[in-house]
Amino acid sequence: MSLSSELKGCWTTVERPPRRVYIDAGANWANTLRLYRDELHKLSRFPVERSTSSQPWEIYAFEASPVIQPFVEDFVKHLNGLAPRPALLVPPIGSSRSHAQYSSMFNCTSTASYGVRKVVMFQCLFDRFERHILNHIRSAFSNESTAFFQSPRLIEKRLKEALEPNNDPAGRPRYTFIPAAIGSQNGWLDIKWSAMQQFFPLRTSWSTLRRARAAGMPLRAKVRSIDFVQWLCDSFQPSDHVVLKLDIEGGEHSILTRMLLSEPSLRSYELVDLFTGECHSQGRCKTWRRHYKNGTIPHKGMTAFRAFLFSKSVIPEWDNYSRPADQLVPIASSCPPAGSNLEWPCRTP
């Protein structure tokens, strides 16, 4: 390959076939890692050389929650054909929608008023899965796990995988998991207990808190955060087809500010072709729409982001390969050991 001396925007143009890239920023329980397959019908909107590219897909998953990172690590190994599918022994709750779904599956619904209902449903799920939840916490927050997922060398190595196209001769997709948050600069993200409550009832009781703390659950955790804009610029170029899913609980605003307001000369937004995500904080979302209408953010190359700014559609919670029932197959097909506090119908394979 020959390196072009012409620098366009923040990227360096390299003569190579267009790449096909899916970035899952906010991978949660790996339930949207294959969302790019669901979005393929939209490729016809883009230039022919990209929509017909024969390059195998590259998937880059980012997840900041230490509670979830170990499962995503194992699931990515499974998708790469390096390990069997990991057993899922805890409900993969990542939102109110998934919480309601799993509460229904495990007979944890309630007819109480909304606020009381959520507390009752969370407590019911916790009581049913307590043994597995506490075991999961012990593993996720062990010294070994913390050292592995916070390793600068590991994160840097995986970020650099994006520098090399996926040239798998069999056309298989390549999945890469980066156990880090994304932001507008390199640093650390402080995650509070309230942001790690995938398993715990709202207004957690002191007894539940004590059990979780005894298992190793911290009141807050620090995770590495990477400069997403710079990584995007260093790794890809406009000829690539890049699909971006962004669901990072409000962290999108600092990234969009850098891309569209503070450093628009980088033209990093031109590197994204298809954008799906959730805009958190309606006040700030309205501000972005006002910026767009007033012309204070670039319009050229903004096709991918316009739908995000103006659409009221909700980001898909699961791809078509990870529906709730599919994710819970390992639970439903495995009876809990005698003496456990888990009570639901199960079947043997």
Question: What's the start-to-end Cα distance of the chain, in Å?
Answer: 51
pLDDT of residue 301: 55
- pLDDT over 80 at 183, yes or no: yes
Domain spans of the chain, in order of start: 17-86+146-194+220-332
Q: What percent of the chain has pLDDT over 90?
A: 32
- Locate all alpha helices (DSSP H) within the chain, ordered by sequence: 35-38, 48-51, 69-79, 96-105, 114-140, 143-149, 152-160, 206-214, 228-235, 252-257, 282-294, 303-310, 324-327, 329-332
Give just the sign of the alpha carbon dihedral 114, 217, 319, 343.
negative
The predicted-structure confidence for 268-283, as pLDDT tens digits, reads as follows 888 888 877 777 777 7
pLDDT bucket at 328, cuts 50 / 70 / 90: low
pLDDT of residue 349: 39
pTM over 0.85: yes
Q: Could you tell me which of 279, 125, 291 has the C-alpha nearest to residue 198?
A: 125
pLDDT of residue 39: 66
C-beta of residue 188 within 8 angstroms of C-beta of residue 152? no
- pLDDT over 60 at 215, yes or no: yes
CA angle, residues 50, 51, 54, in degrees to nearest 5? 80
46 versus 19: the higher-pLDDT residue is: 19
Helices (H) and strands (E) in the chain, counts: 14, 10
The predicted-structure confidence for 9-18, as pLDDT tens digits, reads as follows 788 888 888 9
- Locate all alpha helices (DSSP H) within 174-270, ordered by sequence: 206-214, 228-235, 252-257
Dist. CA 39–CA 275, nearest whole Å: 10
